[in-house]
Amino acid sequence: GEDAEIWTVALARLHEVAGCCACAATRLPADLPSLIAVLRLVDVFLLDSIDGDVFRALCDAASAVAALAASSGEAFLEAALELLRLGRLQPLLGAWCLSGGEAMAPPVALLLKAGGPLAREALGSRGVVAFVASTRFLGSLSEERLSPGGAIASLAKADALGVLLRCTSWDWLRDHRFLAQLLDDESLLPLLQIPGLRNELSHQRFRSPELASALAPFPVLFNELLKAWLCCSQGGCAVPASELALWSDVDKFLRHDEPLLDEQLRCASAEDLCAFARAAPLERRPAVRSSLRARLE
């Protein structure tokens, strides 16, 4: 059976180290469970002379790790628990993250989601922390990374959102839906204190009137973003008339320290002004009506 095969490999390897002729039986298996089985024998029977060979083979097994995680998350977690028991998981995770690239994102996400000792062991590795804060990890995950069972939510559950302070690129954040998810989950709000993320949110891809209600409880952030998105004299851009009409129905937009509506109307063409006049809430927003009249005079 499998146990006999593992014993054959271990003993043949041991004999080779002792000076006997090399043979095919001495080749270590390539799949992760079998390598761990050999490592278990090494640990139980103190086969120190082949310990280094087995550990090096495990270090080089990033592709096998990714394949196992892809085929069976449960089997991968079982393997990780066994490596944890053997005291080898943390150094192996660092090696795998270094060599495995984006393929290691799903296995690491599984460890974080598992929580408990597996997540703690993973986050105790400097290699894993560097990987988690990189676009190799964050950029390769699905749009559900912020969902309750997603990778970033798992970091929050482990009280480890500070890992993302090391993130140097936030272009993996797609659009305003990310910000809506973040603002809707209290456990993720500490992310707003990360300077790099806060600065990234000023990018135009996050601009959307749909965020008005979600941003209302965060007046300072809302003010910052409105200025960055919509103040033409401060680097903002002119927006389509249909979008401007939606913004003109937002109190925070109309009462901003900067005359955002006036600036937008000043940049608008005659065609845009006509489109805005048709779509804007002129009846219930006297301030909007006044700004439009002033622009047309």
Q: What is the mean pLDDT of each run of 10 residues along the chain (297 residues)?
A: 52 49 60 90 76 90 95 96 96 96 95 96 97 93 74 94 94 90 92 95 96 96 95 81 97 95 93 96 96 93
pLDDT computed for residue 21 by the predictor: 47
State how far the Cα of 279 lies from the Cα of 145, in Å rounded to an integer: 36
Question: 87's torsion region: left (phi>0), alpha (psi -120 to 50) or beta?
Answer: left
State how far the Cα of 297 lies from the Cα of 294, in Å rounded to an integer: 5
With tokens 């009506």, the residue in question is 289
Q: Which residues of 224-255 are buried (b: 16+ CB within 10 A; e: fewer)?
A: ebbbbbbbbeeebebbebebbbbbbbbebbbe
pLDDT computed for residue 17 by the predictor: 44
Q: Which residues of 47-77 are buried (b: 16+ CB within 10 A; e: fewer)?
A: beebeebbbebbbebbebbbbbbeeebeebb
Both structure tokens of 116: 């408990």
State how far the Cα of 179 lies from the Cα of 205, in Å rounded to an integer: 11
State how far the Cα of 76 lies from the Cα of 275, in Å rounded to an integer: 57
pLDDT computed for residue 30 by the predictor: 83
Q: How far is CA 24 from CA 11, 20, 21, 27, in A?
A: 12, 13, 10, 6
Residues 244, 285 contacting (CB under 8 angstroms): no
pLDDT computed for residue 211 by the predictor: 97
Q: What's the distance, Cα to Cα, between the start and end of the chain in Å? A: 91
pLDDT computed for residue 8 by the predictor: 55
Cβ neighbour number for residue 19 with a 10 Å cutoff = 6
CB contact set of 246 (below 8 Å; sequence gap of 6+): 209
Q: How far is CA 185 from CA 174, 214, 218, in A?
A: 18, 11, 14
CB-based burial label for 123 (10 Å; 0-12, 13-18, 19+): buried
Nearest CA to 113 among 145, 75, 88, 66?
145
